[in-house]
A and B are shown apart, each in its own frame.
Chain A
């Protein structure tokens, strides 16, 4: 499935990098060639050239045209990023030190894990509960800051099934690098089941029903547990918002 945002970001990147590599080679090769060709031994007497107006015009005008082209493509890709399709599903994301919470339009909540249906454009409304964060999904090439007191947005289209990293990209204090999450792209029918399953109390969970690494179908929360050796972060089912099927996932993070 074609993804307009990924395509435009990667195409603009390739365009600019190609032009850049050309100019880098031009400058570097010319410089090294001149230094060798006109070294003192081979060229004992310098010719005193102080400038050349037509050359100056050429190397002002050509780069100007090229940077305007780069700007244009960068801008048009950006327009794609900002024009949210009318049929997009809205999910509210709130960043706080140091986790993400996702709110769906039917009141469903999810911590850390962002569940979306395959193919459906998703509009993220981004807020912060404390300091600046930045909601970043590298695989989908989208990022927007979470600034307290305002709602920013981005949109993306989940055109690849599976799990993708979500990271906080704006420094937010001690555990900034642990402010991670997962984007989980599911089949639309699975998503509907997940979204419309009402939370149940913890005691109905079957914690062994899913293993680590498979796509979890639950809202999880991160708990910090102190052991004698290190602090271990346990991602486990939040009892308040847990679903019928639970999973337990342990990530050891030395602190």
Chain B
């Protein structure tokens, strides 16, 4: 660093206490610091998550009895639509990349910020704008959209609800996603510290790299598709509406060309977090680094080509159904490879059992169920029976919420001391995690049975033979939500009253554990030099403050 003295001054205090050009709230709203932007994303994402979770609770209360329990069908339909829209577009897609990616990617690469810090802030504003537009749609026009988060035509064109505005909200959110993706790709290509070759990058960075490419390449498709819906509703252009010569299946293709790769946008970063947490607590190098890194790319690549498996009963040609089924099975292989490598990493480790590792173990169990039930749906014969039933709802929540959601919680507990410089109560965290896992499995596993028995999804009312299972599922949901509320309460308490955290509470090896908790404004006094892989426990692979080290060595020589 040329300006060594100034940098040292900047890094005297942590990034929360650094006094920049702006004070108070403006020091957040106008910040270009990747860590502050990460925290702002975290605040917004947690609020959206809790709101959508409460919508889910309302649905589970409604499902307690056949017929009306607490709401009317139109309300229920809007609630499941917004539960989906908020969870997908405002929580699962951005959660890990926008919060932990923003906060930790530059640090793990040994950089002081992302490549385009202003663009990074801009993407936060796009995110907030998209979220607020979606919320605005609840209170304006014909009322809350009632189409499901998939916005299938022709219903989304005919519905008198305010579909256009919520679709436009998702459209704006897409830009936020694209901009963040671009930023990460550039950062990974250009900002790695000296000596950090591609295969010395932490696996979290690899996962974000694969994710970012999907974000950049696939998101424009959903942008165009959703925009066409708005045009179709406003002007009747007739691209999708069969009454005007359009094709509803074209919409489904375009929607899933994005939305299937999008599930890998959701899960890949979570897989990256798992690859960080396991070596830290096993106190050993990851098993099969290259296989895990390359399987992320393989998943991203094959994940592009499987969208048709959402349309096995749509009337798509039989040839397409067979090809998409085959490709779907192929995507299971790199996913399996990852799971095997994670478990193998534990072999002959010296394992410290802490909350983040417990969440990761829960993840491996839950995600395996989610992945394996995906095989049932990849097979054509069984999918015909199970698609659009509760089986899909169960599968989807196992992979997405059980996969990405559990890891979001794991990442919160893993990086909490680093992000906030505080600790949380470990016992309460373990209790909340246990409640979460028990409730989760009661809640969603029951859905597989309901689905096999033929209970269709998105049903406000149901036939009486399904009631017992619905009640059991709802009880599971209430237990799970209790766990989640307790967990956030515990973290909030840690944030306010927690003891001061040390720089490296878990004995992690990647770069974020070699700087103070919370990190100083510019992360590093001097850019570190990398001499080995990211998870080496038995020797030092990073040279921190290399200039000082060289000076010392020179002094020793003289």
- Give A contacts to B, CB under 8 Å: 8-9, 12-13, 16-17, 19-20, 23-24, 27-28, 30-32, 34-35, 38-40, 43-52, 55-56, 59-60, 63-64, 67-68, 70-71, 73-78, 80-82, 130-132, 134, 136, 138-139, 141-145, 147-150, 152, 165, 167-178, 180, 253-255
Given A28, A55, A131, A170, which contacts B364 in the complex, CB threshold below 8 Å?
A28
- Give B contacts to A, CB under 8 Å: 67-68, 72-74, 77, 146-148, 152-155, 158-159, 242-243, 247-249, 282-291, 313-315, 318, 321-322, 325-326, 329-330, 332-333, 336-337, 339-341, 343-344, 346-353, 357, 361, 364-365, 368-369, 372-373, 375-376, 378-385, 387-389, 452-454, 456-463, 536-538
Q: Tell whether, in the assembled complex, residue B249 and residue A50 are in contact, meaning their CB atoms are under 8 Å apart.
A: no
Q: Tell whether, in the assembled complex, residue B454 and residue A70 are in contact, meaning their CB atoms are under 8 Å apart.
A: no
Contacts of A20 in B (CB 8 A): 372-373, 375-376
A77-B381 in contact given A27-B364, A34-B349, A48-B285 (Cβ < 8 Å): yes
A-B contact pairs, 8 of them (CB 8 A): A9-B381, A12-B381, A28-B364, A45-B350, A48-B285, A70-B378, A169-B313, A169-B456
Q: A130, A165, A174, A178: which has the most chain B beta carbons within 10 Å?
A: A174
Roughly how many angstroms separate A45 CA and B329 CA in the complex, as a whole number? Answer: 39
Roughly how many angstroms separate A230 CA and B126 CA in the complex, as a whole number? Answer: 46
Roughly how many angstroms separate A167 CA and B248 CA in the complex, as a whole number? Answer: 21
Nearest residue in B to A6 (C-beta to C-beta)?
Answer: B385
Q: Tell whether, in the assembled complex, residue A253 and residue B67 are in contact, meaning their CB atoms are under 8 Å apart.
A: yes
For the complex of A and B, the 7 pairs showing the least CB-CB separation, nearest first, are A138-B454, A74-B379, A77-B381, A149-B242, A78-B380, A20-B372, A34-B346
Q: Tell whether, in the assembled complex, residue A148 and residue B248 are in contact, meaning their CB atoms are under 8 Å apart.
A: yes
Given B74, B318, B339, B459, which contacts A27 in the complex, CB threshold below 8 Å?
B339
Given A43, A47, A50, A148, which contacts B289 in the complex, CB threshold below 8 Å?
A50
Nearest residue in A to B458 (C-beta to C-beta)?
Answer: A171
Given A13, A71, A132, A177, which contacts B73 in the complex, CB threshold below 8 Å?
A177
Roughly how many angstroms separate A69 CA and B241 CA in the complex, as a whole number? Answer: 40
Q: B368, B375, B458: which has the most chain A beta carbons within 10 Å?
A: B375
Q: Tell whether, in the assembled complex, residue B384 and residue A49 are in contact, meaning their CB atoms are under 8 Å apart.
A: no
Q: Tell whether, in the assembled complex, residue A60 and residue B333 are in contact, meaning their CB atoms are under 8 Å apart.
A: yes
Roughly how many angstroms separate A178 CA and B200 CA in the complex, as a whole number? Answer: 57
Contacts of A9 in B (CB 8 A): 381-382, 384-385
A59-B461 in contact given A34-B349, A38-B347, A143-B387 (Cβ < 8 Å): no
Chain A min CB distance to B438 (Å): 15
Q: Tell whether, in the assembled complex, residue B456 and residue A136 are in contact, meaning their CB atoms are under 8 Å apart.
A: yes
Roughly how many angstroms separate A174 CA and B329 CA in the complex, as a whole number? Answer: 36
Q: Tell whether, in the assembled complex, residue B458 and residue A176 are in contact, meaning their CB atoms are under 8 Å apart.
A: yes
A63-B285 in contact given A38-B348, A75-B380 (Cβ < 8 Å): no
Q: Tell whether, in the assembled complex, residue A170 and residue B369 are in contact, meaning their CB atoms are under 8 Å apart.
A: no
Q: Tell whether, in the assembled complex, residue B315 and residue A81 are in contact, meaning their CB atoms are under 8 Å apart.
A: no
Q: Tell whether, in the assembled complex, residue A132 and residue B380 are in contact, meaning their CB atoms are under 8 Å apart.
A: no
Given B147, B332, B339, B352, which contacts A40 in the complex, CB threshold below 8 Å?
B352
Given B73, B147, B364, which contacts A175 in the complex, CB threshold below 8 Å?
B73
Chain B min CB distance to A144 (Å): 5
Q: Tell whether, in the assembled complex, residue B247 and residue A132 are in contact, meaning their CB atoms are under 8 Å apart.
A: no
A141-B388 in contact given A50-B289, A174-B77 (Cβ < 8 Å): no
Roughly how many angstroms separate A65 CA and B364 CA in the complex, as a whole number? Answer: 23
Given A30, A56, A139, A167, which contacts B343 in the complex, CB threshold below 8 Å?
A30
Q: Tell whether, in the assembled complex, residue B314 and residue A147 are in contact, meaning their CB atoms are under 8 Å apart.
A: yes
Q: Tell whether, in the assembled complex, residue B340 and residue A59 are in contact, meaning their CB atoms are under 8 Å apart.
A: yes
Given A16, A46, A165, which contacts B283 in the complex, CB threshold below 8 Å?
A46
Given B152, B154, B243, B291, which contacts A51 in the complex, CB threshold below 8 Å?
B291
Q: Tell whether, in the assembled complex, residue B325 and residue A71 are in contact, meaning their CB atoms are under 8 Å apart.
A: yes
Q: A27, A44, A47, A76: which has the most chain B beta carbons within 10 Å?
A: A27
Chain B min CB distance to A68 (Å): 7
Nearest residue in A to B463 (C-beta to C-beta)?
Answer: A165
Roughly how many angstroms separate A131 CA and B454 CA in the complex, as a whole number? Answer: 22
Chain A min CB distance to B69 (Å): 10
Contacts of A49 in B (CB 8 A): 284-285, 287, 344, 347-348
Roughly how many angstroms separate A68 CA and B322 CA in the complex, as a whole number? Answer: 12
Chain A min CB distance to B10 (Å): 37
Chain B min CB distance to A212 (Å): 15
Given B73, B368, B384, B457, which contacts A143 in the complex, CB threshold below 8 Å?
B384
Q: Tell whether, in the assembled complex, residue B454 and residue A167 are in contact, meaning their CB atoms are under 8 Å apart.
A: yes
Q: Tell whether, in the assembled complex, residue A142 and residue B384 are in contact, meaning their CB atoms are under 8 Å apart.
A: yes
Chain B min CB distance to A117 (Å): 23
Chain B min CB distance to A148 (Å): 4
Q: Tell whether, in the assembled complex, residue B368 and residue A24 are in contact, meaning their CB atoms are under 8 Å apart.
A: yes
Contacts of B248 in A (CB 8 A): 132, 147-149
Chain A min CB distance to B456 (Å): 4
Q: Tell whether, in the assembled complex, residue A142 and residue B458 are in contact, meaning their CB atoms are under 8 Å apart.
A: no
Q: Tell whether, in the assembled complex, residue B336 and residue A173 are in contact, meaning their CB atoms are under 8 Å apart.
A: no
Chain A min CB distance to B314 (Å): 5
Q: Tell whether, in the assembled complex, residue B375 and residue A31 are in contact, meaning their CB atoms are under 8 Å apart.
A: no
Q: Tell whether, in the assembled complex, residue B288 and residue A35 are in contact, meaning their CB atoms are under 8 Å apart.
A: no
Chain A min CB distance to B208 (Å): 22
Roughly how many angstroms separate A67 CA and B332 CA in the complex, as a whole number? Answer: 8
A169-B375 in contact given A49-B348, A147-B315 (Cβ < 8 Å): no
Nearest residue in A to B247 (C-beta to C-beta)?
Answer: A149
Given A56, A71, A142, which contacts B326 in the complex, CB threshold below 8 Å?
A71
